[in-house]
Chain A
Amino acid sequence: MREVEFKAVNKTYPNGYVAVERLDLRVEEGEFLVLLGPSGCGKSTTLRMLAGLETVSNGDILIGGTKVNDLPPGARELGMVFQSYALYPHMTIEDNLSFGLRMAKQGERLDSREIANRVGEAAEMLDLTQLLDRKPKALSGGQRQRVAIGRALVRRPKVLLMDEPLSNLDAKLRNQMRIELRRLHELHGTTTVYVTHDQVEAMTLADRIAIMHGGILQQHAPPLEAYHNPNNPFVASFLGTPAMNLIQGKVENQKFKAGDLCFELPDHLKDTQCGNYTFGIRPENVNVVSQGGLRCDVRGVERLGDQTIYHLNAAGQEVTALRHQQIDEGFTSTTVDTSYVHISLTEPATVLFPQ
């Protein structure tokens, strides 16, 4: 029983700032949940409440069906990886790894041989065996990161918590550690709650992601579902680079109108009632065609090698289109040779959000 449940959890700071509002969230046993959102959205506060480092203002947090609101952090049987790693600078790597085991209560403490076994096992798994008698100062960023993960795992926690663990690594190491983290998760199946603002980490690591904004949960779904079926314009614009095209306008007679821009709604949206809506389509579903479709002015073109991003203006509305580079598309050219292009939409991929 290692699932986590938030029941109507609120966090209000003494100065009146509401960090988390009525959060209902369930993390199943063995699930890898990513809390995703921009800074200040309440994701770290949520994690810290689960860890017991922040008090809960209202509502209940349950781990394995037990209410843990008032349990001290050490009693919750959690492992946590901090953004700064928070390794104990005055202890060797071995002592860092074993510290939690040595601090366990008298009755629950493992004997020293078992502790050494566990530490050796963790060191083996994370490739730290050679470094056990060094101090954290002598380690590289990636090695420190692995020690931090080892320290969290060595106690065999019910839930593993990670607070932006990869944000202090350089891009290459971050990619490696991402794969490593997923591998570790598949190996141990530890229920994991992972906080990040990086959508790539969220998309690649998560079984499900919980996107937060302004202290409120926006959507809780598997990554691809959130990507293709966003609940609201915030989720739509937060997931994906470049961001989803969002155009505010209104629906009249099965047509979408925004200023001078007016087009027929795709078939699956035809039944939409009249009213104000935000129309959304991802850049990769905007096709650049030579003829037909909608004529747009070209504002700028970014050629990234494997793909090309077009910044367009369609009758006063900003539209971004993303095409994968075709070899016959004049890939040697770096200048804009046309002042306008035609676009068509991949219709099933369009969404409408009521305003």
Chain B
Amino acid sequence: MNSRLLTNGMIDVSNPNIAQQWYVPIEIQMLQRWLLCAVLMNLIVLGGELLRSDTTGIYLTGLGVGSLMITRLLLPDGTASWQRWAALGFAAIGLVLGLVSLWNSDLSVYDYWSRGWLILPAALTVSWLTSASIADWCSGISADRAEAGLARNKRLEVTLEAVGSHTLLIHAVALVIIPLVWIFDVAVSPGNVLGGEIGDAFTLEHFEVILGSPTFWVWTKNSLIVSLGTTLLGLSLAVPAGYAFSRFDFSGKKQSMFAFMLIQMFPGIIILVPYFMVMKTLGLLNTSIGLIIAYSVTTLPLCVWMLKGFFDTVPRELEEAAMLDGCTQLQIFFKIVLPLSLPAVAITALFSFLSAWNEFLLALVFNTSNDQFTLPVGLASMIPSTGQRWGDFAAASILVSTPVVILFMLFQKSLVQGLSAGAVKG
């Protein structure tokens, strides 16, 4: 058979050197990505140095970024052996700059981390570029060795990719965890101050103060009443509304769905003043009912949309089967549709509960007397302009978020089901 027929114009498959053409050592492929990443991180570090106005730091980090960039550009592509020496040279410069910069610093955790982002990539580049497999490849490689290299790439790729992605993920996680660790540290440190070393002392005095204070329990009671009330009122309105929007055709359906979306686009502050006036006229300021009504109204649009989306995935044929089985419309809803929609109802309930539990602005404006504070407003009242009680505040913050975390854990299974609803049909 004529092998020309099998070519696509780019690669002649009859070429016995195909492995050589395709083979690039996995180290080079990884360096191409990782050095780019390291350059970006060092630019962030450089930003930090600029903020600190540390002239030596700026100078050293700037040069380090430059050498990493040049190393990345000069990475060998297997065509000329001088590229390897050039890249090696600039990586070595980067390594030296990093070490000097570290020696020059205060050796704090931050310094180790920021210099590490220069030293480690540079050192890795140096060690890989001097390894036998890369040297081999740069000076031309035989077909057999190239095939062996492709197999080796396959083996190493999984491990190296895992190392790379986990390094980035740890940074992402740290970004979230560090503030939590900090607030926890403040909560268990003696005295009412911010800052200090992490984990230098331990006390539960702030928790004792908070748990022993009657006002905290009053605020908790208020928050629970408001959040549960909002959930109940919101759901009892949103569930039938979502069902109606999903199943029935009526005039104005599209317009009202759109209006629901539109309301979501306004920031809450816009409706604050009219709400306040309505509540004042109705005499609902400084009551839980006022907040319940206000929260139910503001969370309703999103709840209706979420539930409608789920009801849309309940097959109509189920309802038709129930009709033939002699169910009335109400029986269909309560015996068929609602039991099937429990995951969605659960996630909607959680959403209402949380938005009421965490809301601050309306609660601050409507309920001004201390015995009607909800937890967020109460927390804020603990740090007035004079005499901030940071330790107590941190302890209370942790206590306030605990129910939320517990709720999430309890509802986890339904949450996943509810969130992925529509993706799969039972």
Contacting residues, chain B, for A100 (C-beta < 8 A)? 324-326
Report Cα–Cα, A72/B325, bound state, in Å.
11
Partner of B323, one of A52, A79, A104: A52
Q: Are A86 and B321 in contact (CB under 8 A)?
A: yes
Q: Are B331 and A103 in contact (CB under 8 A)?
A: yes
Q: Are A104 and B326 in contact (CB under 8 A)?
A: yes
Contacting residues, chain A, for B317 (C-beta < 8 A)? 82-84, 86
B252 interface hit (Cβ, 8 Å): no
CB distance from A138 to the nearest CB of B (A): 12
Report Cα–Cα, A83/B315, bound state, in Å.
12
CB distance from A37 to the nearest CB of B (A): 21
CB distance from A201 to the nearest CB of B (A): 20
B86 interface hit (Cβ, 8 Å): no
Q: Are B324 and A51 in contact (CB under 8 A)?
A: yes
Report Cα–Cα, A105/B426, bound state, in Å.
30
The answer to whether residues A86 and B315 also contact, given A103-B331, A137-B426 and a CB cut-off of 8 A, is yes
Report Cα–Cα, A53/B332, bound state, in Å.
14
Q: In the complex, which residues 309-349 of chain B have their Cβ closer than 8 Å to any Cβ of chain A?
A: 315, 317-318, 320-328, 331, 336, 339-340
Report Cα–Cα, A82/B315, bound state, in Å.
12
Report Cα–Cα, A80/B321, bound state, in Å.
7
Partner of A89, one of B323, B324, B426: B426
Main secondary structure of the interface of A (DSSP, over half): loop
Partner of A53, one of B320, B328, B340: B320
A78 interface hit (Cβ, 8 Å): yes
- In the complex, the chain A residue whose C-beta lies closest to that of B249 is A14
Main secondary structure of the interface of B (DSSP, over half): helix
The answer to whether residues A105 and B326 also contact, given A89-B340, A89-B426, A90-B339 and a CB cut-off of 8 A, is yes
A40 interface hit (Cβ, 8 Å): no
CB distance from A99 to the nearest CB of B (A): 5
User: What 1/0 mask marks residues of chain B from 369 to 383 whose CB sits below 8 Å from any chain A CB?
Assistant: 000000000000000
- In the complex, the chain A residue whose C-beta lies closest to that of B323 is A73
CB distance from B326 to the nearest CB of A (A): 3
A74 interface hit (Cβ, 8 Å): yes
The number of residue pairs between A and B whose CB atoms lie closer than 8 Å in the complex comes to 59
Report Cα–Cα, A100/B324, bound state, in Å.
8
Report Cα–Cα, A89/B340, bound state, in Å.
8
Q: Count the B residues whose beta carbon is within 8 Å of the partner chain — how many?
A: 17
Contacting residues, chain A, for B336 (C-beta < 8 A)? 88
Q: Are B325 and A103 in contact (CB under 8 A)?
A: yes
Report Cα–Cα, A105/B328, bound state, in Å.
11
Q: Are A86 and B318 in contact (CB under 8 A)?
A: yes
Report Cα–Cα, A87/B88, bound state, in Å.
68
The answer to whether residues A90 and B340 also contact, given A82-B320, A82-B321 and a CB cut-off of 8 A, is yes
- In the complex, the chain B residue whose C-beta lies closest to that of A83 is B317
Contacting residues, chain B, for A73 (C-beta < 8 A)? 320, 323-324
Q: Are B426 and A74 in contact (CB under 8 A)?
A: no
- In the complex, the chain A residue whose C-beta lies closest to that of B327 is A103
Q: Are A99 and B325 in contact (CB under 8 A)?
A: yes
Q: Are B340 and A79 in contact (CB under 8 A)?
A: no
- In the complex, the chain B residue whose C-beta lies closest to that of A108 is B326
Report Cα–Cα, A105/B325, bound state, in Å.
11
Contacting residues, chain A, for B339 (C-beta < 8 A)? 90
CB distance from A104 to the nearest CB of B (A): 6
CB distance from A168 to the nearest CB of B (A): 12
User: What 1/0 mask marks residues of chain B from 275 to 308 whose CB sits below 8 Å from any chain A CB?
Assistant: 0000000000000000000000000000000000
Report Cα–Cα, A84/B321, bound state, in Å.
11
User: What 1/0 mask marks residues of chain A from 83 to 107 whose CB sits below 8 Å from any chain B CB?
Assistant: 1101111100000000110011100
Contacting residues, chain A, for B426 (C-beta < 8 A)? 89, 137
CB distance from A302 to the nearest CB of B (A): 29
The answer to whether residues A86 and B320 also contact, given A99-B325, A100-B326, A137-B426 and a CB cut-off of 8 A, is yes
- Select the residue from B324, B327, B331, B339 with max chain A CB neighbours within 10 A: B324
Q: Are B340 and A80 in contact (CB under 8 A)?
A: no
Chain A residues packing against B (C-beta within 8 Å):
51-53, 72-75, 78-80, 82-84, 86-90, 99-100, 103-105, 137, 151, 155
21 inter-chain pairs at a CB distance below 8 angstroms, sorted by A residue, are: A52-B324, A53-B323, A72-B323, A74-B323, A74-B324, A74-B327, A79-B324, A82-B317, A82-B321, A84-B315, A86-B320, A86-B321, A88-B318, A88-B336, A89-B318, A89-B340, A89-B426, A99-B322, A104-B326, A137-B426, A155-B325
